[in-house]
Structure 1
């Protein structure tokens, strides 16, 4: 590994693990519009079919210890379409730290003239571990007590969201994790030192499908992300659909990345998506980009004719 890469990872560890964190803490996805349950529990059941979605993201390829995220989610609506249920498990790793958890979602859905309005709640917990003792320190220097003890803690949390969608439009507002869990350097309360804290994240997402003709559609979408102590971030996306079978698109994430995306409907039940991100900052000099893969399976779609294509 290049010397400069070691400095980058060292800086990340020092900033995110040793000091109090004021930054984006939720796992990041480029294909959030295909995996909305990860950021908004009110999305559960919005597609009116039982579906399973798997997503794998490998970020900043070429940098040792760079983020890696895996998630699997299931959601569907009850027979009367008034309730949506969802479940997701995830694993997020960066450097010496790993967060593995699961959340269950509930959405109450109200049918309106042209769409559905849903109010959602989610609850679950995550296991956070940080292997400080595995960090390679200067063998000739004095022991560093900050790296003497590993961290292992369970962090419960809950979140809420609102989601409106029709065949051609969606708008969602959510706070997926509301509890501000803290992380201390040991279990002795009298001598423990705060080294990290979770902060509330606000997500606002919207998208619309424009018909160019019967074979081509354009689907622009945006995602606003806000968290205390970090710059506001906006994802701006545009996908072009051809024959309701495949799409290509571009994404710009303010002060961070640009991405190229593609999606293909392999058959009535299986959809595949891929995104490639490239940093717009100096970090691009030290990695070959980020790769993200998405696979969705819809149970029972082959047995019933879909009234309209599902774009969200």
Structure 2
């Protein structure tokens, strides 16, 4: 019975609530292109990143997310471009899509200020007819019709970074698309829809000595109708090759993070989340794996490692 209650809560949250709808990442600092198009090209070399997240392991219908992104700065370094494809599954819903990002970069004395635009297309599918309903009420209209809809959208962002600091503001999608088929006559007031998401992110690297560096970062997430969420993160880098860190996400989870700079071009990350909400009784945690490969030659790279 508990399993069905949790599964039903997941379905209803995907259908009716205005809580955070975009996929959630613990290693957001490695997947910044997903939340801010102005990040494109900020590493100054072609960069390919893959990320897989399995959330709330043990809960039927729990979120599962895969993303692959590529971004690069054009030869004059004043323009960045990027693309991301993603797949996010939650209960009987599945969201698949792609984002194209453009960033105009202003090179400053100590850093770079970028203004970004994003165009995206998303296919949203909801197999509501597969939900097992109570035999006493088998004709609930909320689960009567499946949804299969393609939705375009646009986003924008600002991103400033130096070798050891960054600050970003963004909204990945501006249109409140209805999450129902166009033929459905549900009123606008009652129809489930996409809602504006706002992100503010920042981080800094403190040099403790020649071996150790401390890298705190923060991410604010806001969406209409849901509480503001804050991710607090802190990593300790050792000899610019290995990092261990922790994260606290308000109202949701704590996490441990490991990072390995396996070579000049390859970085690997892993995180494990443990719920702090009532869901802790129904799952064994969340796992996230990231790998990044940079194609740049030594002459194109900045002096020293990139932390963001």
Range class of TM-score, shorter chain: over 0.9
Rounded to whole Å, the distance in 1 between the matches of 2:152 and 2:300 is 39
Rounded to whole Å, the distance in 2 between the matches of 1:134 and 1:256 is 29
- The corresponding residue for 2:4 is 6
Q: Does structure 1 conserve the Cα–Cα contact (< 8 Å) formed by 2:44 and 2:301?
A: no
- The corresponding residue for 1:109 is 105
Q: Does structure 2 conserve the Cα–Cα contact (< 8 Å) formed by 1:184 and 1:193?
A: no
Per-residue CA deviations over 1:19-51 (Å, capped at 9, x if unaligned) read 3x3211111000001111010000000000001
Correspondence list, 1:2-151, <5 A:
3-17=1-15, 19=16, 21-139=17-135, 141-151=137-147
Q: Which of the residues 217, 221, 241 maps onto 1:245?
A: 241
Matched, 1:280 2:276: yes
Measured after TM superposition, the shift of residue 186 of structure 1 is 6.2
Rounded to whole Å, the distance in 1 between the matches of 2:44 and 2:83 is 15
Measured after TM superposition, the shift of residue 289 of structure 1 is 0.2
Q: Does structure 1 conserve the Cα–Cα contact (< 8 Å) formed by 2:14 and 2:90?
A: no
- List alignment gaps of at least 5 residues for structure 2: none
- Relative to the length of structure 1, the TM-score reads 0.94
Q: Does structure 2 conserve the Cα–Cα contact (< 8 Å) formed by 1:67 and 1:93?
A: yes
Shift in CA distance, 289/44, structure 1 to aligned 2, threshold 3 Å? same
Measured after TM superposition, the shift of residue 194 of structure 1 is 4.1
Rounded to whole Å, the distance in 1 between the matches of 2:242 and 2:234 is 14
Q: Does structure 2 conserve the Cα–Cα contact (< 8 Å) formed by 1:222 and 1:237?
A: yes
Name the count of aligned residue pairs.
Answer: 308
- The corresponding residue for 1:205 is 201
Matched, 1:296 2:292: yes
Rounded to whole Å, the distance in 1 between the matches of 2:86 and 2:131 is 25
Rounded to whole Å, the distance in 1 between the matches of 2:177 and 2:300 is 45
Rounded to whole Å, the distance in 1 between the matches of 2:189 and 2:145 is 13
Q: Does structure 2 conserve the Cα–Cα contact (< 8 Å) formed by 1:185 and 1:195?
A: no
Q: Does structure 2 conserve the Cα–Cα contact (< 8 Å) formed by 1:102 and 1:126?
A: yes
Give the secondary structure class of the aligned counterpart of 1:24: coil
Q: Does structure 2 conserve the Cα–Cα contact (< 8 Å) formed by 1:269 and 1:302?
A: no
Per-residue CA deviations over 1:111-136 (Å, capped at 9, x if unaligned) read 11100000000001100000011112
Give the secondary structure class of the aligned counterpart of 2:210: coil
Measured after TM superposition, the shift of residue 306 of structure 1 is 4.8
Correspondence list, 1:163-202, <5 A:
163-184=159-180, 187-189=183-185, 194-202=190-198
Shift in CA distance, 147/214, structure 1 to aligned 2, threshold 3 Å? same
- The corresponding residue for 2:267 is 271
- List alignment gaps of at least 5 residues for structure 1: none
Matched, 1:311 2:307: yes
Shift in CA distance, 147/308, structure 1 to aligned 2, threshold 3 Å? same
Rounded to whole Å, the distance in 2 between the matches of 1:142 and 1:160 is 44
Measured after TM superposition, the shift of residue 191 of structure 1 is 8.1
